[in-house]
Amino acid sequence: MNGVITKDGTGSPATADAVAAAMAAGAFFWLDLDTSGGGADVSSLLTDSFHFHPLAVEDAEHFGQRPKLDDYDTYVYMVAHGATPTGTGTVEMHLFFSDKFAVTLHHGPVQALDGVRDRIERHPVSSADAPQVVLVYLIVDALTDSFFPVLSDFDERIDTLEDAILAKPTDEQLGEVFSMKRHLMAIRKVVTPQRDMFAGLSAGVTQLPGTNDETARYFRDLYDHLIRISDMVDGYRDLLSGVMDTHISTVSNRLNVVMKQLAIIATVFLPLSFLTGFFGQNFAWLVAHLVSGWTFLWLGLGSEVVAVVLLVILFKRRGWLGGPTA
């Protein structure tokens, strides 16, 4: 476990004694815990130092939770998600907060928290009327805004992919479409419940410690961002479905062109096969009249050339030779 206690713009290692001293001082503080190294010390700290409910501690020990908000009288337990910088997954953040402290838990470093720490160093949260609300807003806002660059990259990739499919469809492009749809579904699975959670906060269904009419504006801002992200995810999912349909249609059209060309070739050779087979029967009249090389060229090969020319004229009149090439 790696943890830092942030208080008045300064940081100190997270130990049971340090937490006890911070709580005894009475000033608001933020404890950030990286639990990727193990969970025994974290559970002990949450249970013994903060006296959190066993159910909340159990949820905090097991990541993979959907966004949610649980009220435990003197504190609130929240699960929020953000996007990884690569856009291939999501970042899960667990938060405990009250009017005296805020505790965040996550696996590994979280890039979104770096900007929060910088803002706190420039403008300490303890100077606000409701520091826990402002801090939670800063953290969740940073996590929420991390989705925008990822979705912007999705927009560019979809445009590039669609142009490439129209130029030349390949199996690799179809695999990329499926991969992007899986990533969008992973984002949608966390954005939708997170949007609903802040919809309840904005409507006043759930009250947080220190909230009032002024601080409620922070959560309305988060709700607005989540609505935009949810709409973007749904829009890009529809676009990917359209790209997949474009891929299938393009492949089908090219297959039809190939089949038309093969049908034309087979049709051209059909009368030629008939003529060569007919002359190959060695009828007495044919043998008797094909007495010279010129007669063979005009009557034998000439009839085949005339058949090909007539077929080409027929194909052009019906527009069969004007289609796109593969």
Cα–Cα distance for residue pair 107/163, rounded to 1 Å: 38
**Low pLDDT (below 50) residues in the chain:** 1, 8-9, 126-127, 324-326
Whether 199 is in a domain gets the answer no
**Token pair in block for residue 129:** 């009327």
Whether 223 is in a domain gets the answer no
Domain boundary among 125, 154, 175: 125
Domain boundary among 125, 154, 176: 125
Whether 228 is in a domain gets the answer no
Confirm if 19 and 51 have CB atoms less than 8 A apart. Answer: no
Specify the pLDDT at position 126. Answer: 47
Whether 23 is in a domain gets the answer yes
Domain boundary among 107, 125, 143: 125
Specify the pLDDT at position 14. Answer: 66
Q: Name 258's Cβ contacts closer than 8 Å, sequence gap at least 6.
A: 326
Specify the pLDDT at position 283. Answer: 59
Cα–Cα distance for residue pair 49/263, rounded to 1 Å: 81
| R_g of the chain, CA atoms, integer Å | 36
Whether 148 is in a domain gets the answer no
Residue linked to tokens 């008045």: 8
Cα–Cα distance for residue pair 214/231, rounded to 1 Å: 27
Cα–Cα distance for residue pair 211/227, rounded to 1 Å: 22
CATH number of the domain to which 84 belongs: 3.30.460.20
Provide the domain count of the chain.
Answer: 2
Whether 184 is in a domain gets the answer no
Cα–Cα distance for residue pair 60/95, rounded to 1 Å: 9
Whether 189 is in a domain gets the answer no
Specify the pLDDT at position 263. Answer: 82
Type of residue found at 233: V
Confirm if 67 and 79 have CB atoms less than 8 A apart. Answer: yes
Confirm if 24 and 52 have CB atoms less than 8 A apart. Answer: no
Whether 151 is in a domain gets the answer no
Enclosing domain of residue 278: 257-317
pTM, to two decimals: 0.73
| 4-63 residue pLDDT tens | 666 544 556 667 888 888 888 878 888 888 887 665 678 888 888 888 999 999 998 888
Q: Is the dihedral of CA 250, 254, 259, 263 positive or negative?
A: positive
